[in-house]
């Protein structure tokens, strides 16, 4: 696939496993890449250098912002435009978990998660859409299978991701035809967070974890990245949709 090297993508939470895979995917087809991070300036700068040296990105920029804070979000977009002069794609990848039992969950745990996942997606998307003047912009949001099924100890996270699913539809309706908005929902993806949460470094646990998946394996972050790139570059008549990348686990 060949695209203009002038196109630019901004990825929030870009140092996560899926964020990194997504940045590498866009770099490999000639996008300039802006990498959002909250507090890891050195790691983000090193990754930006790697995208240029090893992955083919014409340019890469590390940009700090807490996506829960409007003034920082706005400043991030201004920095991206100052560097590149344009922005074509926003990937709202940033997220956080603060699990606790429903009856024990604190206001701080609720607000930290909802502000990051739902409010952060809203503010970043709004700042992007207010500045975008082209005809083929794209916003990719992130869902979760538990936004559909729910889970214990996730009364902050699951509703936040469910809100993103509906927010995607609202934005798709209002921002069409110049900006398409879709959600990508990963299933059991082999990330550091999943390994820590479910102890899947243990071969027996991993085998059990994979048994329910029709594809009989965990997904790779690159599997998610390839769906994102497809929606942006090939899925030109797709908007308002939730694309589930889970090896057939959910089937809804």
- Active site positions, annotated: 157
In 3D, which of 244, 98, 238 has the Cα closest to residue 172?
238
- 């959910």: which residue's tokens? 250
Burial bucket for residue 127 (CB in 10 Å: 0-12, 13-18, 19+): buried
Tokens of 196: 């820590």
CB-CB contact of 93 with 116 (8 Å): no
Question: Can you count the helices (H) and strands (E) in the chain?
Answer: 10, 7
Neighbours of 71 (CB within 10 A): 9
């Amino acid at each position: 696939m060949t695209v203009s090297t002038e196109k630019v993508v901004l990825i929030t939470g870009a140092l996560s496993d899926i964020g990194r895979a997504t940045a590498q995917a866009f770099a490999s087809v000639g996008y300039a890449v802006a990498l959002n991070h909250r507090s890891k300036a050195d790691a983000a700068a090193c990754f930006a250098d790697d995208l240029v040296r090893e992955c083919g990105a014409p340019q890469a920029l590390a940009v700090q912002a807490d996506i829960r804070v409007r003034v920082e979000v706005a400043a991030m977009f201004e920095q991206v435009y100052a560097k590149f002069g344009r922005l074509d794609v926003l990937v709202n990848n940033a997220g956080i978990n603060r699990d606790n039992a429903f009856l024990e969950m604190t206001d701080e745990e609720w607000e930290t998660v909802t502000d990051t996942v739902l409010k952060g997606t809203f503010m970043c998307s709004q700042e992007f859409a207010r500045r975008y003047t082209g005809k083929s912009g794209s916003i990719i949001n992130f869902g979760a299978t538990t936004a559909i099924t729910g889970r214990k100890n996730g009364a902050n996270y699951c509703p936040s991701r469910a809100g993103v699913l509906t927010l995607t539809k609202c934005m798709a309706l209002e921002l069409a035809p110049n900006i398409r908005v879709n959600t990508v929902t990963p299933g059991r993806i082999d990330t550091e967070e999943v390994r820590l949460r479910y102890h899947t470094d243990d071969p027996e646990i991993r085998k059990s974890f994979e048994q329910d998946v029709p594809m009989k394996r965990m997904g790779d972050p690159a599997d998610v990245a390839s769906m994102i790139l497809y929606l942006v570059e090939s899925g030109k008549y797709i908007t308002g949709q939730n694309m589930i990348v889970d090896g057939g686990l959910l089937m809804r």
